[in-house]
Amino acid sequence: MTEPWKAEVFAGVDLAAEPGRTGFARLQRTPQGRVVVEDAGCGLADEELIEMLSGVSKAGIDVPFGWPVGFVDFLADHALEQHSAPMAADVRWRRGMVLRRTDQLVHQWCGLTPLSAAADRIAYPALRWAAVEARLRDRGMDCQRDGTGRVCEAYPAAALKVWQLPFRGYKRDVRLREDVVAGLNGRCAVDWNGYDSVCVASDDALDAVISALVAVEAADGRTRVPTAVEEKDALTEGWIHVPFGMVAV
């Protein structure tokens, strides 16, 4: 007697500071390799988010999982009035303070600079994720920040650039979102199941679908992962999973 097939279910979240702007998506991969969108939309409170993430194989989350190690150490020393003065508090020093190792590597690979949880408004969603992460850990869920557990950090713009789809301006331009939706159908074998109109209407829902697709790639070993030298920082700061592919920087 053959074992019944168990669906592979993936989730994606475009995490905002507040529930109303939080995009979400739930995908199921068929035995034939197609990815079916089971649900997508906006509006996800913490309890709903935790329940969704607890029931999937892997989830991609569009939010920084942590803060730069050097920045955290500097603030801790600053609070004790024990911080050292840099040789020059110039742009290079400031950039090294507010960008994580993974942010700097993504810039090298893709020519894109992720928002900084230390210097940009993305700090608010990052704080929300830190609280959610703690609750997921309390449930026994593997939330290692390098993405080897049940969640991985996604950066939709980088994934779109690797996949040679529109990666700039689509958040403001409906026509570009239509191009992205059409492109994902061919590039990632997505069956939109009627949710294409939702993702054309909402860039948050679209980013959630892209984040879920990154989770699929990560689960299959098709994303860049930390080297031995990078692993320590990745476990503390987080690690953006970028799909394999060649891009012009």
Split into its structural domains, the chain has a count of 1
Q: Answer whether residue 120 is part of any domain.
A: yes
Q: What is the pLDDT of residue 32?
A: 86
Q: Answer whether residue 3 is part of any domain.
A: no
* 100 within 8 A of 233, measured Cβ to Cβ: yes
Q: Answer whether residue 2 is part of any domain.
A: no
Q: Answer whether residue 130 is part of any domain.
A: yes
The residue among 9, 44, 47, 42 whose CA lies nearest residue 28 is 9
Beta strands 190-191 and 8-14, pairing class: unpaired
Q: Answer whether residue 248 is part of any domain.
A: no
**Entry field: residues in the chain:** 249
SS3 26: strand
Identify the H or E element spanning 235: helix 231-237
How confident is the prediction along the chain (249 residues), in pLDDT tens digits per residue? 333 444 699 999 999 999 999 999 999 999 888 999 999 999 999 999 999 999 999 999 999 999 999 888 887 877 777 877 776 676 787 888 899 999 999 999 999 999 999 999 999 999 999 999 999 999 999 999 999 999 999 999 999 999 999 999 999 999 999 999 999 998 898 999 999 999 999 999 999 999 999 999 999 999 999 999 999 999 999 999 999 986 655
The residue among 168, 212, 184 whose CA lies nearest residue 41 is 212
Would you tell me how many other CB atoms lie within 10 Å of the CB of residue 195? 23
Q: Answer whether residue 1 is part of any domain.
A: no
Q: What is the pLDDT of residue 247?
A: 62
Host domain of residue 204: 8-243
pTM as predicted:
0.93
Q: What is the pLDDT of residue 2?
A: 38
The residue among 190, 192, 234 whose CA lies nearest residue 213 is 190
Q: What is the pLDDT of residue 246?
A: 61
